Amino acid sequence: MARNAFPAEELHYQRRGVTPNPCGASGALQFVSRPIYSKPFQRTGPDYPVEVSLPRAATDFHADLELAIALADAADAQSMPRFDAADLEVSLKADQSHVTDADLATERAIRDILHAERPDDGILGEEYGTEGAARRQWIIDPIDGTANFLRGVPLWGTLIALAVDSVPQVGVVSMPALGRRWWASAGGGSWTATSGDPRRLSVSKVDSLDDASVSFQSIAQWTDAGKLPELLTLADRVWRDRAYGDIFSYMLLAEGRLEMVAEFDVKEYDIAAAVPIVREAGGRMTAFDGTQTLSARSALATNGILHDPFLSLFRDVPHS
């Protein structure tokens, strides 16, 4: 960048970090400075449930989850000072999507820490592409919801996932403008914190499409994918349809507030972090056709109970 848009103290994220503490008495987002680089990472904030007895399978990714949470701390330190900033730098990428100086700085901050802490792991990020070809790959979306970010709408977040053999095993979603964070690792459950102690997540028990509340993200996505008939059928079948949009919809699903989220034209970094969070909350996440892949450019997430009924509903839609 030609111009340094960040305060000097915040640029030195290698030495100093900012931990979002969503558990303050007022419920407002608080920031507490702490060193990021310590070996091993020592967490002092309330947002990771260290008191939970983890099953054996979860311990394989415990250190990776600790690192992912530290990466989210570093990301928040970069993104929040630029949110709703009058001098935010915005440009268009080759695909005509927006990118801001905060997107770039946030991904650089995450990559720098990964280079130091996991030098043998691969990285896939939205802004700087792929490096390395390891079985373990960190998948990063520095600011999911850039359009919201640049308009001052607080529904955006940083997405961090660790995939092993292309299967996401660790996921962290941080939405600092809301004071919210969600995290999960394979076998360790899905968690969030707002005020008070961390809370374990569980999807809803709704078992009828007639009672389901869904998020379809955007009409344009379904139209461009040739799935508008499916969307209209969906809206006519379920109790409530809305377009909450981006990563927040998946977090609402994991919290048991929605029964389905579906969207198209998504990349791996758009959805990888949501997979462990939804899965560990008891839900199910596939491509729109039901295949288990991140690369199908579509996503269908449900409370699990209704996954097959939704798949059947979509498959039975006639096309003229």
For position 112, what pLDDT does the model report? 97
Sites in the chain below the pLDDT cut of 50: 1-54, 56
What DSSP letter does each residue of the chain carry, written as one string? Answer: --S--S-HHHH-TTT-EEEEETT-TTSS-EEEEE-S--SS----SSSS-TTS---HHHHTTHHHHHHHHHHHHHHHHHHGGGTT-TT--EEE-TTS-EEEHHHHHHHHHHHHHHHHH-TTSEEEETTTEEE---SEEEEEEEEETHHHHHTT-S--EEEEEEEETTEEEEEEEEETTTTEEEEEETTS-EEEESSSS-EE--------GGG-EEE---HHHHHHTT-HHHHHHHHHHSSEEE---HHHHHHHHHTTS-SEEEEES--HHHHTTHHHHHHHTT-EEE-TTS---S-SSEEEEE-STTHHHHHHHHHT----
pTM above 0.85, yes or no: no
In Å, how far are 12, 17, 82, 117, 201 from 113, measured between CA atoms?
12, 12, 20, 6, 29
Is residue 98 a contact partner of residue 147, using CB atoms and an 8 Å limit?
Answer: yes
For position 55, what pLDDT does the model report? 53
For position 195, what pLDDT does the model report? 67
Alpha-carbon torsion 49, 274, 113, 131, what sign? Answer: positive
Tell the CATH superfamily of the 12-193 domain: Fructose-1,6-Bisphosphatase, subunit A, domain 1 (3.30.540.10)
Amino acid identity, position 72: A
Going from N- to C-terminal start, the domains of the chain cover: 12-193, 209-315
For position 58, what pLDDT does the model report? 54
For position 57, what pLDDT does the model report? 54
Contacts of 286-294 with CB under 8 Å at 24 or more apart are 288/227, 288/262, 288/264, 288/314, 293/166, 294/163, 294/166, 294/168, 294/268
For position 134, what pLDDT does the model report? 83
Task: Output phi, psi for 281, to 5 deg.
Answer: -85, -5
For position 181, what pLDDT does the model report? 96
Which has the closest alpha carbon to 109: 136, 85, 142? 142
CA distance 240 to 250: 16
Which has the closest alpha carbon to 215: 250, 146, 282, 261? 261
CATH 3.40.190.80 fits 209-315, yes or no: yes
For position 189, what pLDDT does the model report? 96
CA distance 186 to 81: 32
CA distance 215 to 264: 12
For position 194, what pLDDT does the model report? 76
CA distance 211 to 39: 49
Which has the closest alpha carbon to 123: 139, 105, 109, 108? 139
CA distance 158 to 31: 17
CA distance 106 to 35: 17
For position 138, what pLDDT does the model report? 98
